[in-house]
Structure 1
Amino acid sequence: MALRVTPGMMNLQMMRNINNNLIRMDKNQNNLSTGMKLNKPSDDPVGITYSLRYRSELSINDQYQKNADAATSWLEYNDTVIGQINDVGQRAYELVVQGTNGTIPQEAMDAITIELKQIYEQMVNLGNSKFNDKYIFNGQFTDQEPYKADIASTQETDTGEIIYKFTEGASLSINITGQDIFGKPTDADNLFGIITRVESAFSTGNQAAALNEMELLKSRLSKINEARSEIGAKTNRVELISSRMSDLELNLTEMQSKTEDADYAETIMKLKQDESVYQASLATSAKIMQISLLDYLR
């Protein structure tokens, strides 16, 4: 038995087809205007899963990159300050060499004593250096001044580490404590103690006592250079980590783009095809809608 196709059925199917064509064209128009092929989860349930994963990983990577930038700035500032401490220490060493010359008069030693006092004060100021309003040589107690001028040689700094995390398995201590630079109060080569003793020796004309401090001062300057080398090694490691995170960001962004972004050329082509199909369906429906009851009876 043949199936009878009524005008109502034809009209219903016609409206359904026109609506489908319009929905398809609207989707491509939306993709073109947003520049994305994933505008809602139903567009691609599998793709939206990958998209959310890429977004999460990019967010985490961005925070790690900020940590690396902050650590680099901290380390570079530490390197600058330690370099200044080394320069001032080298000047102190030159004065000790000059002052222990057996032919130097007391007036010259008095002049050296005055300069050593200035060097001592400069060392204390450098020991109290701050970065972003944080003392860099007092371990985790970055809000507390590590040294006071009158008792610097007897003060201990905090030895706690400031650790930055860069990836899930990569963390690094970025700080150098004051005791690593100036020495502990019990160290014979405590820098503040050496300068104080040399200053006292020269003020009394005791060249022999000042001469005994030369090797200790040389030892301390060597340790300062070792600390600076450690800072340099940490800076290089952070830069390598930062470079790897930049590469990872590019990779994740590219994969996210492939998952989310619309292909403009392809989308425009599909939109033009959909427009043609939609216009054709409207033209066809217009002819069908013109059929009247008289046409049907005839």
Structure 2
Amino acid sequence: MPKKVKVSDLVTEFHLEVVCGDAGLKRPITVADLYRPGLEMAGYFEFHPKERVQILGKTELTFFEGLSSEERTDRMARLCAPKETPCIILSRGMDAPIELLAAANENNIPVLRTNVSTTILASQLTGFLENRLAPSTTIHGVLVDVYGIGMLISGNSGIGKSETALELVKRGHRLIADDAVEIRQTADHTLIGSAPELIRHLLEIRGIGIINVMTLFGAGAIRNVKKISLVCKLETWQQDKQYDRLGLDEEMTRIIDTDIPLVTIPVRPGRNLAVIIEVAAMNFRMKRMGYNAALQFTNKLTESLSEEMDDIE
């Protein structure tokens, strides 16, 4: 579920001045999109997105100053929707019109101010809100950075995910999260993984206990966030199950609303899981670069069989 964002979070994050409407600082912000009410200043409110954070810059306020007293009062009264509008932000340190202050106080809508230019403010606010309001979930697993590929290692409890992660860290790769991976989905359907604050940099090894990876292996052994590109599912080897031996069939799994490649790795004594995961990461990189070893092998095999058939004929 998306995290909740309040107007007070914007005030704290961007050091905004509260001009009026302190009672409304707990108003929720539900969408990351912003809005500059230019047409609304001219009186057109037909499709006004009231639920967005409203930004008034130099253009809007300069136009507003040229309106009559009745129009000014009407525009600000209609702009300050009592239930939907989370807040109104003035950029470039502009003075708040008295009509705005009156309407905002009447409806308990916070009016905030900053000296930052309108364009920069909009960019900063959008990035912050998209990050905070992104759909998110928490998954049981381990997230590691292997050769620049964010790999989510999943599997039943006790199958060896943390031990595999420890071996990968010893081999020079980096740990992002162990046991619980917080995942958020960005607007372009990219999955970003991180560790909960309480267990960040920690790794649980059965028989030893909890270790701090950064303390033992240095700052180069950890990362705080990483894009998830591949899921490696560890499962106990089943004798009667047919496992993919060529790699032609690409499995996918869905996290939140995003489909992501999945490789299933059977676990049994004698298999070096860390090396297998390293190879899976390198093979994934090669596929993204356009080289597919399994496909090339299949094509060569088909060509060879075709030539043999031609010779027989």
TM-score interval w.r.t. the shorter chain? under 0.3
Ranked by relative contact order (alpha carbons within 8 Å, sequence separation 6 or more), the top structure is: 1
Structure with higher strand content: 2
Q: Calculate the TM-score normalised by the size of structure 1.
A: 0.21
Larger of the two Rg values belongs to structure: 1
Structure with higher helix content: 1
Q: Calculate the TM-score normalised by the size of structure 2.
A: 0.21
